[in-house]
Amino acid sequence: MTEQLAVAVLGAGGRMGSEAVTAIESAPDLELVAALKRGDSLDELVSAGAQVVVDLTTPENTEANVRFAVEHGMHAVVGTTGWDEAKRASLAQLLEQHPGTGVLIAPNFALGSVLASSFAATAAKYFESVEIIELHHPDKVDAPSGTAIRTAQLVAAARDAADVPAGPDATTKALDGARGADVDGVRVHSVRLRGLVAHQEVLLGGPGEQLTIRHDSFDRASFMPGVLLGVRAVTGRPGLTYGLDGYLELS
Ligand SMILES: NC(=O)C1=CN([C@@H]2O[C@H](COP(=O)(O)OP(=O)(O)OC[C@H]3O[C@@H](n4cnc5c(N)ncnc54)[C@H](OP(=O)(O)O)[C@@H]3O)[C@@H](O)[C@H]2O)C=CC1
Ligand SMILES: O=C(O)C1=N[C@H](C(=O)O)C[C@H](O)C1
């Protein structure tokens, strides 16, 4: 039998972390060597011999966790939000000092969500208007969601590359927040509602028509195939990859 890959989960007591622990324990090619909760020492990653660290913690803690992993020669698969451009650039620099080490930052592990964002970027240059509505459970601490930010970035880049002008908007009077957040020129609206898990609609409008690209995660099980894919692939992908689409052949 080939050797199992030693995997640690950070945030193991959380909604995503606990699901990831179960998924890793159920995978015959992976061995869960550590499951850390808030307050546990990161040194446990070293003593457990972790090869891949899965970070599912909080936007405040994730950067320090991932930098620790990289500095100790471990690969990382990161689902936690909060990785803005400056943090990603600084991590990419650190990775240059650790050739051979890989980090995947995946704003969304659900394959359907990754595809939906990619479809939205493909469609974006053909429509005058694009806006995003993301809908999540009310225990989520960040808004807009990491997925919506990533989708808006992909949409904006596709529209920029095709010289599509900004969508029309005659608003001159508005209550604060009424038009959502501006992410690279794309309006993003956040809904928080008990009963929801993670959902997103990209609305694309043209004269007399609308295309809606919607994805729904009804259960956190939807994220686990992507987590496992990331864990298995990251050891062969040195440097920083932003988005699970970087590991998939989407075109
Ligand atoms: N990429 C993807 O597909 C997905 C990403 N996410 C993202 O993952 C993150 C976690 O989401 P979710 O599981 O819902 O959140 P939870 O709040 O349920 O889980 C986070 C857990 O991390 C713990 N924690 C905080 N700091 C540390 C630390 N330094 N070391 C170890 N554990 C720590 C928290 O402990 P305590 O409760 O004591 O604070 C909590 O148990 C969010 O950023 C979310 O947006 C979520 C779903 C899918
Ligand atoms: O907090 C969540 O739940 C989720 N977070 C990620 C995000 O912010 O996009 C992924 C998914 O939407 C669920």
Whose alpha carbon is nearest atom 7 of ligand 1?
80
Q: Which of 98, 136, 189, 215 is catalytic?
A: 136
CA of 70 relative to ligand 2 center, distance in Å: 24
- Predicted pLDDT at 250: 73
Give the C-alpha separation, 91 to 215, whole Å. 30
CA dihedral (226, 230, 233, 238) in degrees, to 10, reads 150
- Whether the per-residue pLDDT at 249 is higher than 80: the answer is no
Mean pLDDT along residues 171-196: 98
Q: How far is the CA of 198 from the centre of ligand 1 (A)?
A: 14
Distance (Å, whole) CA 149 – CA 23: 27
Instruction: Tell me what pLDDT residue 93 has.
Output: 98
**Which pLDDT does position 102 carry in this prediction?**
98
Q: Domains in the chain and their CATH numbers?
A: 5-105+221-247 (3.40.50.720), 111-218 (3.30.360.10)
- Of 142, 151, 150, 7, the C-alpha closest to 61 is 142
Residue to mutate (ligand 2; options 57, 134, 147; most atoms within 8 A of CB): 147
Token digits of residue 133: 């509505």
- The pLDDT tens digits of the residues spanning 145-157 come to 999 999 999 999 9
Residue 15 Cβ inside 6 Å of ligand 2? The answer reads no
Cβ atoms of residues 7 and 74 within 8 Å: no
Asked if the bond preceding 59 is cis, omega within 30° of 0, the reply is: no
> What pLDDT is recorded for position 97?
98
Nearest to 158 by CA among 215, 208, 202, 209: 202
Which residue is it, tokens 């909760």? 37
Q: Is the CB of 146 under 6 A from ligand 2?
A: yes
- How many Å separate Cα 36 from the centre of its chain? 20
Cα 77 to Cα 59: distance, rounded to the nearest angstrom? 14
What pLDDT score was predicted for residue 251?
61
Q: Tell me the average pLDDT across 120-147.
A: 98
**Of ligand 1's atoms, which has the minimum distance to the CA of residue 146?**
45
Tokens of 94: 């650190």
What tens digit of pLDDT does each residue of 2-57 get?
799 999 999 999 999 999 999 999 999 999 999 999 999 999 999 999 999 999 99
Average pLDDT of the segment spanning 186-193 = 98
Ligand 2 and 147: CB distance under 6 A = yes
Active site residue 72: no
pTM over 0.90: yes
Segment 163-181 mean pLDDT: 97
Average pLDDT, the chain: 97
Q: Is 49 annotated as a binding residue?
A: no
Q: Which ligand is nearest to the CA of 109?
A: 1
